[in-house]
Structure 1
Amino acid sequence: MNPFEDAVCAMYAHILNVQGRTLYDIILYSLKGNPDGFNGVLLECDSTVQDSIMQLLKVYKIRRKVNFSLCPSLSLWALLPQNKAAVVGQSKPDVTAADKVLVLEQDPRTELVGWRMISSCQNNPHEIISACREGNTEEYHRHRYEIGLPEGVKDLPPGEALPLESNLVYMQGISFSKGCYIGQELTARTHHTGVIRKRLMPVTMSAPAETLDQGAALETEGGKPAGKHRAGMDSLGLSLVRLAHAKEPLKLKSSDGMTVTLQATVPDWWPKNSKDQ
């Protein structure tokens, strides 16, 4: 079964283990009908685990005539919105050299991330989209943490993160009418009958994220358990927060033993009628 609908060319998803926990988060791009002759699916993932994902995919190949290969000749670019206030309904970037673009799709997770562009690593992005300013990777990750968007194994530790606590539904990364998939039982049961008591939320911190340990315990001012810290940069980060304490000031211990205060916020791109906000 083709996971892509007729009008969908980019799709976000999590690869789960049999316990229903996230192994890797990925974005899939359909290359069907590409004018350059490419045919198939491109898989975007955290580059630090690309070999592990390749091995995992080959386990499920069985006797299918499917080939897997890395694409070192391609470059991925995130086209961030210049003005967050004008993001909704943002039109497609003005491309001046369409023949150099393999993929140009709106980020399937949320409009606040902008667009994803894939081209040959030999191409200069300024030759493709002239009205842009080339930034760096740190700017991209800072933007992610500012809007509360998880990505990669630091934010979603393999075998630890649960997809629904990681806001997979809010990022259009799951269908509850299609199956079957590994880890479906726990995920579907939690969605239909369970209660999500914790969510991955953006936090602002009183100390640089680099001084905090991944998995450090969060507490309320009264000492009650409130979740775990995940990752971040500068004063921005993501933490798995108990929703019952999400509006309270929180604290944790830094790697040097200092007390750090945190404040969680609800991202703008979450649905406004969510029952667990």
Structure 2
Amino acid sequence: MRPRFLSLALRPWLRRMSSACFPLAAHRGLLRLRGPNTVGFLQGIITNDAERLKDGAMYAHLLNVQGRSLYDVLLYRVPGPPDVSPDLLLESDVEAVDSIRKHLQVYNFRKKVEVLPCPELSIWAVIQEKSDPPLNRLPSPALLCVPDPRAPLMGCRLVAQTGADITVILPGTELRTVRDYSRHRYQHGIPEGVKDLPPGVALPLESNLVYMNGISFSKGCYVGQELTARTHHTGVIRKRLVPVRFSSPLPSEFHGAEITTTSGKSAGKYRAGVEDLGLALLRLAHVGEELQLKGGGATVSMTASVPEWWPGSGDDK
């Protein structure tokens, strides 16, 4: 039987809160990394400090040599016997799984790290909704249930056997959809996957990697580190991914369109979204102004905001 792990930090939360569960199997995929050199291998190719990955989850980006983001990932340590090097799970956009596997193999020279597909496991998002009487049972038979490291409002990540019944794992939970999950992310400005973070285009610091606990500036060198570190130490980031809301639902053909002020001045670019919610790479000087997006002969007005979970912006500091 596979070992089960529930973060101690989550136990009181799961007892006192009802929750909404979002099945992400069609949206997020997993790779299993196995071998005694796995942590050292990752240390040279991800933005975060792999040696600090213990029993929870870790967020990171894989960069190209120019310092632009290729893939955003979540990493999990699979519990096992203390005398055996643990497997690691790597979660990513399902569309990027094969590309990430090939990318890892490029750097896997003499590391003897196995990078394996993991169709037997699936990812769920569990996000608290409201206060509720204590749950009688903890998540079981979940393999992992740990806080999402990106922001408290993202709840936790649950890893279970593919096809498992979520009503058994979390009795009384409300089952929601991937669309609901995406709307939650976009409402709060959390990017995820290749549409929000186009490979080879997005810059990690403009994508709020620091705010989402996805980078270490003290661990040493990794692929793409030089430009990222230099940008960080200058302290000048004029554009960031921010949540935006449109005056009406937006067709998909607007993705990547130019955003302007009402006077026609360029303000940024729209990345992706669902209906009237989305993300835009916007000059911070224009947050709070009336903005517009043009495409297909139509003009849609929009507003941008600073997320409350950003440092100094609200309660989650």
Q: What's the TM-score once normalised by structure 2's chain length?
A: 0.78
CA pair 165-118 structure 1, distance change in 2 beyond 3 A: same
Q: 1:81 aligns with which of 124, 128, 133?
A: 128
CA contact (8 A) 1:96 1:127 kept: no
Within 5 Å, give how 1:1-277 maps onto structure 2. 1=40, 3-5=50-52, 7-33=54-80, 39-83=86-130, 95-96=137-138, 98=140, 100-254=141-295, 256-272=296-312
CA pair 59-206 structure 1, distance change in 2 beyond 3 A: same
Q: How much has 1:9 moved relative to structure 2?
A: 2.2
Q: Which residue in the other structure is 1:89 paired with?
A: none
Q: Which runs of 4+ in 1 moved over 4 A?
A: 92-95
Instruction: For CA contacts below 8 A with separation 6 or more, give which structure has more relative contact order.
Output: 2
| SS of structure 2 residue aligned to 1:191 | helix
**How far apart are the structure 2 equivalents of 1:43 and 1:103?**
13
**How far apart are the structure 1 equivalents of 2:216 and 2:139?**
35
User: Which deviates more from structure 2 when the two are superposed, residues 205-214 or residues 55-64?
Assistant: 205-214
Q: How much has 1:38 moved relative to structure 2?
A: 9.2
Any stretches of 5+ residues in structure 2 without a counterpart?
1-39, 44-49
**How far apart are the structure 2 equivalents of 1:112 and 1:97?**
20
Q: 2:188 corresponds to which letter in structure 1?
A: I
Give deviations 1:66-94, integer Å, cap 9, x for gaps.
Answer: 111111111110001204xx8xxxxx987
**How far apart are the structure 1 equivalents of 2:199 and 2:290?**
28
CA contact (8 A) 2:287 2:304 kept: yes
Q: CA RMSD, aligned part only?
A: 2.2
Q: Which residue in the other structure is 2:10 paired with?
A: none
**How far apart are the structure 2 equivalents of 1:158 and 1:209?**
23
**How far apart are the structure 2 equivalents of 1:34 and 1:141?**
36
Any stretches of 5+ residues in structure 1 without a counterpart?
87-91
- Paired-residue identity, %: 51
Q: 1:266 corresponds to which letter in structure 2?
A: V
**How far apart are the structure 2 equivalents of 1:185 and 1:234?**
38
**How far apart are the structure 2 equivalents of 1:106 and 1:141?**
18
CA pair 142-94 structure 1, distance change in 2 beyond 3 A: farther
CA contact (8 A) 2:54 2:77 kept: no
Q: What's the TM-score once normalised by structure 1's chain length?
A: 0.89
**How far apart are the structure 2 equivalents of 1:20 and 1:30?**
26
Structure richer in strand, relative to its length: 2
| SS of structure 1 residue aligned to 2:251 | helix
**How far apart are the structure 2 equivalents of 1:119 and 1:38?**
21
CA contact (8 A) 1:74 1:118 kept: yes
Q: 1:183 corresponds to which letter in structure 2?
A: G
Give deviations 1:81-123, integer Å, cap 9, x for gaps.
Answer: 204xx8xxxxx9875453x211110001001011100010131
